[in-house]
Structure formats: C-alpha cells, structure tokens
C-alpha cells in the first residue's frame, strides 16, 4: 500500500505488514533522505535520516554489517 502526502512524498508500508492492523512503519525515500513514520498515526512527526545513515541501519539490523 502507498500513500502520497501533500509534501509529495510517497509512503510505502512493508510487504511483511499484514492487513490485520498490526504495528507497522511506513517509509518514504527521496533523493537525499529516508523518512519513517507510524502507519497508525500519520499525523505525528516522522523521523528523517540521510540515505547513508539509513543504509548503515538496515545493514546493522539485518546482520549484514
């Protein structure tokens, strides 16, 4: 599922997210940054980090570091 915000960002929910309303995150990728938000409360501020920092985080959590 995707959603486009007025700011022009397209938010993606993980393909691992089920349709039963569990706890999910959404991610929006731009040329220079990655933003993460709570899919259940999209009015709250998102967290934005640089793409290099996001890549390091993903490598760390997947054990690929």
pLDDT tens series, the chain, 65 aa: 455 555 678 998 877 666 666 678 899 999 999 999 988 888 899 999 999 999 999 999 988 76
pLDDT, residue 8, reads: 74
Q: pTM for the complete prediction? A: 0.73
Q: Which residue has the tokens 């700011």?
A: 7
Domain boundaries, the chain: 2-62
pLDDT, residue 5, reads: 56
Q: What is the DSSP string of 21-65?
A: ----EEEEE-SSEEEEEETT-TTSPPEEEEHHHHHHHHHHHHT--
């Amino acid at each position: 599922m995707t959603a486009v915000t007025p700011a022009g960002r397209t938010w993606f929910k993980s393909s691992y997210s089920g349709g039963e309303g569990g706890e999910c995150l959404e991610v929006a990728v731009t040329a220079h940054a990655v933003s993460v938000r709570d899919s259940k409360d999209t009015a709250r501020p998102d967290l934005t980090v640089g793409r290099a920092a996001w890549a390091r985080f993903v490598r760390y959590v997947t054990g690929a570091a």
